[in-house]
Amino acid sequence: MDLSSVAMPTGTFTIGKRFRFEAGHRLPGLPPEHKCSRQHGHSYEVEVVLTAPDLEEPGFVTDFGALGPFKAFLDAELDHRNLHEVLPFEPTSERLAQFLAGWFMQNLQPKIPGRLVAVAVSETPSSWARFEVEGK
């Protein structure tokens, strides 16, 4: 088979990268009998999703290595911290996803190709929250 005869369809490219950090929190806005109102911890997983209509050379939406500053931020500011002590809001997964999207857009997106589409935050392997960035 001549592989050069395969037509490349048009469309949009999307990539994702996962990051991990460990942190504790409590949600004091919940009733005292709710287990999450007490101090507890999670092995958080954060996924950023980026898109682009065209690829940068050599064929990337964004070089995964260019996302290193996001990992450095997670490590320096959130890893092994009590999130309710360092964040200016009650640290639910939903609000954390929104906050991390804001940090990414403010600090990293202007310096890299591709556009942030979403940030997902998982507290456990079976529960997650996703913040979708409105398109421009």
Active site residues: 36, 80, 123
Q: Which residue, among 51, 50, 43, 46, has the nearest Cα to 18 in the 3D structure?
A: 46
Torsion of CA 61, 79, 107, 127, to 10 degrees: 50
Whether 124 and 87 have beta carbons less than 8 Å apart is answered as no
Q: Among 7, 89, 16, 74, which Cα is nearest to 49's?
A: 16
Alpha-helix residue ranges (DSSP H) falling in 18-119: 68-73, 83-86, 93-107
